[in-house]
């Protein structure tokens, strides 16, 4: 069963604008991760936020986590055409556990 659900399913913005994607999950977590997938490619790990963290930054990425609402958001600032991709949140992992992914948000950056 899917743990995370991303929202929106698709997002189209102009280059230079900020993009915000949301993720909701169902059960308690140790951490939440965000991955990017370019069309037809494998996934690339972007950022991990632990359950005791509320916000984390990495370059143009900002992730927030609200464990009381079981939700997370990924903000990409000053978007570029190269940011066009699908973005997935994932929970689980560690030890031998696989990750549980949402269905993803497809982000299109218009030049």
**Residue whose entry in the numeric block shows the structure tokens 């899917």:** 2
Q: Assess 102 for contact with another protein (CB under 8 A).
A: yes
Write the binding mask 31 to 70 for another protein: x where contact by CB under 8 A, - elsewhere. Answer: x-x-x----xxxxxx--x----------------------
User: Given the complex with another protein, which of 5 and 15 has the nearer CB atom?
Assistant: 5
Distances (CA, A) of 80 to 71, 77, 89, 101: 26, 9, 20, 25
Give the CA count within 13 Å in the CB-facing half-sphere of 63.
25
Kindly list the residues in this chain that would bind another protein in the complex (CB under 8 A).
2, 4, 30-31, 33, 35, 40-45, 48, 88, 93-104
């Amino acid at each position: 069963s899917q743990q995370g659900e991303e929202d929106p399913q698709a997002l189209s913005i102009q280059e230079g604008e900020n993009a915000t994607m949301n993720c909701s999950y169902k059960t308690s977590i140790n951490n939440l991760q965000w991955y990017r997938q370019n069309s037809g490619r494998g996934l690339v790990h972007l950022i991990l936020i632990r359950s005791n963290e509320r916000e984390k930054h990495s370059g143009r990425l900002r992730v927030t986590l609200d464990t009381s609402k079981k939700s997370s958001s990924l903000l990409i600032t000053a978007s570029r055409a190269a940011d066009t991709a699908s973005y997935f949140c994932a929970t689980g992992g560690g030890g031998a556990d696989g990750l549980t992914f949402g269905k993803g948000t497809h982000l299109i950056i218009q030049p």
